[in-house]
Chain A
Amino acid sequence: MKCEDWQEVMLDREQLDPAEEEVLSQHLASCAGCRAWANALAETDALLASQLPAQLDSAALHPRITRALRRERSWMIGAPEMLEALGWNALAVLLMAGLLLGSNWEGWRLWLAAAVTLSGSLAWAGRVLIKDWIIP
């Protein structure tokens, strides 16, 4: 086996059985290049295993997520009610406008119909969201 093959074996050293480990140890005892390689691998492993986790603090994440969730929930809980109120109010205003315009509303008919449909839909969507929203 060439040194490169031994290095490949060292990359998966945990998987070796005792007999294979013994053969590898014998090679390491006789080859300075592979010994240096094994030391460099062990040191790199140790450095990364100690330095990488130190980069992260998952304990700080929990309260942060809880806060973000609370903000999201308050917005989501308020939104359907706001939508419903907006829809009903718009509908009332539009109906009043229709009544006030009386017989002179020929040109406005289409616009009013569209606006009434839209505000009615808003109110309906708000109601549905309040009833069926995943947040009780």
Chain B
Amino acid sequence: MSPNDSTFEQLLKEYEGKVLRLCYAMLGNRAWAEDTAQEVFLRIWRALGAFRGEASLSTWVYAITRNACLTAAERMKTAATESLTDPDVLRRVQASHLERARREPRTEVLAWLAELPEAPRQALTLFYLEEKSYKEVAAALGAPMGTVKTWICRGRRALVERRLQAEAREEVRSGT
């Protein structure tokens, strides 16, 4: 094993979880997040020899991850547009959503999270995945800590309000 291999192996162990979580936060889809995380590590492996340590390793890894996610997000959009023009695919997607909603009623909070604007959604997802560390979220998203705090507060407030509205609707329904 060359020094490059052992460095990469170490880096993989340290960052695989963080990269996957950032990919999931940015893309909001597990399958796409896994594919993109794999792509990120291939990019890292190809570029590791050129890493000169001008930025910290985590900054470099997160920058590669964010770039890969932006590319993946574009591909996701294209794939979704193409799929939705196919009535068979559309029917299958609707059926699977109905089935999932029937089996997992508690995932409504994840559905509300998915409906938030991009920045609060990404920050909030990472916030819960990174054990509520503002510092870690700010580093991963490459955004200032104050901005990240604002996104997270806005996102949590929106989710709480969605929850209270849902509870109020439920009370009205059960009362009638």
Chain B residue contacts of A65, Cβ below 8 A: 12, 16, 37-38, 41-42
Q: Which of A8, A48, A136 has the most CB of B within 10 A?
A: A48
Q: Are A61 and B156 in contact (CB under 8 A)?
A: no
Q: Are B160 and A40 in contact (CB under 8 A)?
A: yes
**Among B85-93, B104-112, B139-147, the stretch in contact with A:** B104-112
**Among B17-25, B53-61, B65-73, B74-82, the stretch in contact with A:** B17-25
Q: What does DSSP make chain B's interface, helix, strand, loop or mixed?
A: helix
**Among A51-59, A84-92, A96-104, A121-129, the stretch in contact with B:** A51-59
Chain B residue contacts of A62, Cβ below 8 A: 12-13, 16
Q: Within the assembled complex, what's the spacing in Å between the Cα atoms of A14 and B17?
A: 25
Q: Are A40 and B128 in contact (CB under 8 A)?
A: no
Interface positions of B (Cβ within 8 A of A): 2, 4, 12-13, 16-17, 20-21, 24, 30, 33-34, 37-38, 41-42, 45, 48-49, 106-107, 109-110, 113, 124-125, 128-129, 132, 149, 153, 156-157, 159-160, 163-164, 167
Q: What does DSSP make chain A's interface, helix, strand, loop or mixed?
A: helix
Known A61-B16, A61-B37: A40·B42 in contact at CB below 8 Å: no
Chain B residue contacts of A41, Cβ below 8 A: 156, 160
